[in-house]
Structure 1
Amino acid sequence: MLAEPPPPPRTVTTRVLPDQRRRPADPPAPSERYWRRLLPVLATLALLTRIPSFRHPLWNPDEGYLAVQAKLLAGGGELYATVVDRKPPLLPWLYEAAFALCGDGSLGPLRLAAVAAQLLTALALAATARRRWGDRAGRAAGVLHLLVSVGLNPEDAQAATFEVFMLPFTAAAVCCADRGNWTRAGLAVAGACLTKQTGGAALAPVLWLLWQQPGKRRISLLRTAVGVVTPIAVAALLTGPSRFLFWTVTGSGAYATFAGSELHVLTRGLANTALLAASCAGLLPPVVRVLRIARTGAADLWLWLIASAGAVLLGFHFFGHYYLQLIPPLVLLATGALQILPPYRLTSALLTSACACALFLLWGLLAPRPDLVHTERLAGAVAARTGSADRVLVWGIHPETYWLAGRAPASRFLTAGLLTNYSGGRDGPQVGEKYGVAGAWPTFRAELADRPPALIVDDSRGKPFAPDRLPTLRRLLGARYERSAVVDGAVFYVRTG
């Protein structure tokens, strides 16, 4: 008689919880082959998801501000002296470099740089997920990030501004800390802070991972501190330590308050939260499901998400682009949660995210831009009424008018916001001359007295920073200028005599 064949071996399924940062039991694919296959996919997806960004010359005033700053810096301006803003220096320098290499007539090179920034973010998240949960998780994290990264108002998601260029640094900081590369993690945190102050939220998960490592914590902490402090100190020395500290930290007290237009600001916050939730419709259910059945999660990722949420709340403005820094920790949390759920859950998450992405891309391709149309009309009128060497003052919140018109601003203060504290629809009691940046009005008066602008454009259009509410500007217009025209609601004043 033939012996009965032995029973087939039993397959044991191991549930991998999101906080178990270990390599899978199966040997991973060789790294070179893995990345050689994944990189083209992510690069193509990064480009496709940012196609709408090439549709308009500008997406929001931040891009216009950066473009004007870059032209002033290229013309010999000094950052935080004759060229000022509340933001760190890294992105103005990047714009300046792009203009020097490719010309200052288009933001196309910066659009491509934004594609690269999102691609680098996806690669860093993929590397972290692959190390923790395996090859499939790495691919999922990279793809999910790119699909979700456009899930806000196109003016926020498609613009080449601060948060987009901050993301690769924050993702790299966590990726390096996960591997115990503490100096590199510190350098990445510094890069995030030098792009936008709230990038410092990435330091929370870095320090958590450092504390979890066995032994030699002091050396690791020292390496991290050196990595964080050195680039920031160099940037401060290059721009002047006191000016750097004032414009990036201490000079924004009135801006970072909740007073004024509370209902308007809260409505904006709820609307942008709803938009991000819709874009993350494929990510949130797995996270909630895992919390219900396992009550666990990667502590560093939760800390990263909480710190990023605190950064969104900081300043109480709730602009849509603030929400971008929530996406990387959400993507990794969802990727980890999908590892203990049935495989069809990953397919469902990808399909849901792809459908949401398609809707946001369609919005970006088809939505009109009335503010841009207004600014272009204004810029055309300014260019027609002035010479190329004339300096003009556009009193409003659209600094891109200077760039589109090809005219130099008459003041280092490129928007009325720095002089009145008006920002994002805030029209409450804290808008006016006394709420501007400390020392701004004496400097502003001196600039206009030294080189009076040939043309002043009042683009306030009934907003609370209108000249009739500002004694200094009202007196200046009454004494030296006369009304000459009205263009699309903006009042033009020419110098008398």
Structure 2
Amino acid sequence: MLTRPPMPPSPVSAPVLPRPRRPAGARPAAPPFWRSLLPALALLALVTRLPSFRLPLWNPDEGYLAVQARILADGGVLYDTVVDRKPPLLPWLYETAFALFGDQSLLPLQLCAAAAQLLTAALLASIARRRWGDAAGRTAGVLHLLVSIGLNPEDAQAATFEVFILPCTVAAVWCADRGRWCGAGLAVAAAFLTKQTGGAVLAPVLFLLWRHGPLRGPLFRTAFGFCLPVLYAALLTGPHRFLFWTVTGSGAYASFTGSELHVLFRGLANTLILSFACAGLVPPVLRVLRVARTGAADLWLWFLGAAGAVVLGFHFFGHYYLQLMPPIVLLATAALHVLPARWRSRAVLTSAVTCAVFLAWGLLAPRPELAHVRKVATAVKTRTEPRDRVLVWGMHPEAYWLADRKPASRYLTAGLLTNYSGGRNGPQVGEKYAMAGAWPLFRAEMAARPPALIVDDSRGKPFAPERVPTLRRLLAGGYEELTTVDGAVLYVRSPSAAPAPPR
């Protein structure tokens, strides 16, 4: 006999349970790590970079890059019609910013510099969080932005090479820490193509690669990631010119001889300034060195590589020290992780106080050299026509940019023609110490298109015309003194001078 199968039970809606109440006095759940940290870091980055927006520019490197960008936008060729000892990435960035936003202001580049510091802080926070937890991640990000302006404002606030190196170097370590070897090679290449000393980060990358395990595959991917963009940049600019201007042509510049005491004093002064900025970071690192090991061998190698980059060339300019900040921050974060919580609070508070000192310095300090260059640029602009080319014989290429006049030579400073900065205002300054082949090209430029105005801005320095025979003959053969502006002597073409040959 067939029996009907039992009917399924009718669906019954699940009872609605009351939401559990949070006990009185209990804290709400913490927001996600990045959602809470990134806005705070962005605000801190803008606050610490406020002085950079105060002036049109902070140092001659910004002026050099601005003039380069204008020449490139006008059809110039890097390492040919305009030259410098630096790799091409930052001149291209300036050129792109000028194409998008105009070339009358560096505000877009100043915002890019703030974004570079923000990205650096975020990457450091990510590295620290992966190694030591959320609290360490927040500490690393905040500490970096607090110490990032811990130098003379003209070094820390300028939108120049070392600021844009930082996110590339930290990204290289970030990728290597995660075994992303091609990305690590690309980041090292980006650092190198921003400034040669950025390649020092290859040391911790290779150490992490060695510690990771088998070498063949990771080493090939790292080398591929590094070589591809470097070779591409060399092809774009000309391999022989790229090699000369970024590597082989700077032998006289990277020399220890010349004004040794002056240079060593500068190095000591900038080291003391950085030590004051890192007053909250150094004590925990020294404390941990005595009581425990943090497993931070790669960070120490990174620090030593950055220190070698500071020493390389024996100039010790303040902006060189920016490369030391990321490894110092991570070393301090590693130390604070194993110390009691009061050490972290003390480090952050001390860094905030020193940051306030440097922030006030940047907002209030006078800039007499910028005032001088502005006076010279105003005089040049009022005494020339927009189509005229001028020669500013000095170390302030920003005068061309402020005056809105084209340079008469591919050599934008007297340093490339006399080794003034390389010779450190000492005995190794003069025509015979110039970049190889520079003076024949300079003479050809002056003969083909004599400048309408020459500004002698040497003001008694070793590259004054009386110590540079070619320039002295150029002035004597076709120019007469017009006026003096704040110590700079202006010369115009004399009526008896031979007319310039047709272009």
Provide the C-alpha distance between the structure 2 equivalents of 1:191 and 1:205, rounded to a whole number of angstroms: 16
Paired residues for 1:147-226 under 5 Å:
147-215=146-214, 217-226=215-224
The alpha-carbon deviation at position 496 of structure 1 amounts to 1.3
- Give 2:355's aligned residue: 357
Partner secondary structure for residue 267 of structure 2: helix
The answer on whether the counterparts of 2:392 and 2:457 sit within 8 Å (CA) in structure 1 is yes
- TM superposition score normalised by structure 2: 0.92
The alpha-carbon deviation at position 33 of structure 1 amounts to 2.2
The alpha-carbon deviation at position 429 of structure 1 amounts to 1.5
Partner secondary structure for residue 434 of structure 1: helix
Partner secondary structure for residue 279 of structure 2: coil
Q: Deviations over 1:382-414 (max 9, x none)?
A: 000000000000000000000000000000000
> Counterpart amino acid of 1:81?
D
The answer on whether the counterparts of 2:378 and 2:403 sit within 8 Å (CA) in structure 1 is yes
Q: Confirm or deny that 1:79 pairs with 2:78.
A: yes
Provide the C-alpha distance between the structure 1 equivalents of 2:323 and 2:413, rounded to a whole number of angstroms: 26
Provide the C-alpha distance between the structure 2 equivalents of 1:369 and 1:233, rounded to a whole number of angstroms: 40
Q: Deviations over 1:159-212 (max 9, x none)?
A: 000000000000000011000000000000000000000001110000000000
Provide the C-alpha distance between the structure 2 equivalents of 1:281 and 1:428, rounded to a whole number of angstroms: 34
The alpha-carbon deviation at position 36 of structure 1 amounts to 1.3
Q: Which runs of 5+ in 2 are unaligned?
A: 1-28, 496-503
Q: Deviations over 1:334-390 (max 9, x none)?
A: 000001100010000000000000000000000000000000000000000000000
Partner secondary structure for residue 420 of structure 2: coil
Bigger Rg over Cα: 2
Partner secondary structure for residue 338 of structure 2: coil
Q: Confirm or deny that 1:327 pairs with 2:311.
A: no
- Give 2:61's aligned residue: 62
Q: Confirm or deny that 1:476 pairs with 2:470.
A: no
Provide the C-alpha distance between the structure 2 equivalents of 1:82 and 1:301, rounded to a whole number of angstroms: 41
Partner secondary structure for residue 481 of structure 2: strand
- Give 2:4's aligned residue: none
- Give 1:245's aligned residue: 243
Partner secondary structure for residue 456 of structure 1: strand
Provide the C-alpha distance between the structure 1 equivalents of 2:426 and 2:135, rounded to a whole number of angstroms: 51
- Give 1:105's aligned residue: 104
- Give 1:342's aligned residue: 340
The alpha-carbon deviation at position 83 of structure 1 amounts to 1.1
The answer on whether the counterparts of 1:264 and 1:425 sit within 8 Å (CA) in structure 2 is no
The alpha-carbon deviation at position 272 of structure 1 amounts to 0.3
Provide the C-alpha distance between the structure 2 equivalents of 1:47 and 1:131, rounded to a whole number of angstroms: 26
Q: Deviations over 1:434-464 (max 9, x none)?
A: 0000000000000010000000000000000
- Give 2:136's aligned residue: 137
- Give 1:429's aligned residue: 427
Partner secondary structure for residue 492 of structure 1: strand
Partner secondary structure for residue 423 of structure 1: helix
Partner secondary structure for residue 256 of structure 1: coil
- Give 2:374's aligned residue: 376
Partner secondary structure for residue 339 of structure 1: helix
Cα-Cα RMSD: 1.1
The answer on whether the counterparts of 1:297 and 1:333 sit within 8 Å (CA) in structure 2 is no
Task: Describe the shift of the 1:107–1:425 C-alpha distance in structure 2 as closer, same or farther (beyond 3 A).
Answer: farther
The alpha-carbon deviation at position 428 of structure 1 amounts to 1.5
Q: Which runs of structure 1 show a deviation greater than 2 angstroms over 4 or more consecutive aligned residues?
A: none
The alpha-carbon deviation at position 274 of structure 1 amounts to 0.3
> Counterpart amino acid of 1:398?
H
- Give 1:44's aligned residue: 43
Provide the C-alpha distance between the structure 1 equivalents of 2:172 and 2:291, rounded to a whole number of angstroms: 30
Partner secondary structure for residue 393 of structure 1: strand
> Counterpart amino acid of 2:469?
P
Q: Out of 476, 485, 489, which is 1:487 matched to?
A: 485
Paired residues for 1:24-35 under 5 Å:
33-35=32-34
| Aligned pairs, number | 467
Provide the C-alpha distance between the structure 2 equivalents of 1:426 and 1:173, rounded to a whole number of angstroms: 33
Partner secondary structure for residue 58 of structure 1: coil
Provide the C-alpha distance between the structure 2 equivalents of 1:324 and 1:214, rounded to a whole number of angstroms: 32
- Give 1:461's aligned residue: 459
The alpha-carbon deviation at position 302 of structure 1 amounts to 0.3
The answer on whether the counterparts of 1:291 and 1:297 sit within 8 Å (CA) in structure 2 is no
Task: Describe the shift of the 1:125–1:399 C-alpha distance in structure 2 as closer, same or farther (beyond 3 A).
Answer: same
Provide the C-alpha distance between the structure 1 equivalents of 2:290 and 2:328, rounded to a whole number of angstroms: 17
The percent of aligned pairs where both chains have the same amino acid is 74
Provide the C-alpha distance between the structure 2 equivalents of 1:409 and 1:340, rounded to a whole number of angstroms: 57
The alpha-carbon deviation at position 214 of structure 1 amounts to 2.4
Range 299-308 or range 33-42, more displaced: 33-42
> Counterpart amino acid of 2:321?
Y
Q: Deviations over 1:438-496 (max 9, x none)?
A: 00000000001000000000000000000000111101100111111111000111111
- Give 1:15's aligned residue: none
The answer on whether the counterparts of 1:421 and 1:431 sit within 8 Å (CA) in structure 2 is yes
Q: Out of 402, 405, 410, which is 1:404 matched to?
A: 402
Provide the C-alpha distance between the structure 2 equivalents of 1:112 and 1:250, rounded to a whole number of angstroms: 33
Q: Confirm or deny that 1:263 pairs with 2:276.
A: no
- Give 1:367's aligned residue: 365
Provide the C-alpha distance between the structure 2 equivalents of 1:292 and 1:443, rounded to a whole number of angstroms: 59
Partner secondary structure for residue 392 of structure 1: strand
Task: Describe the shift of the 1:98–1:388 C-alpha distance in structure 2 as closer, same or farther (beyond 3 A).
Answer: same
The alpha-carbon deviation at position 427 of structure 1 amounts to 1.9
Q: Out of 443, 446, 458, which is 2:444 matched to?
A: 446
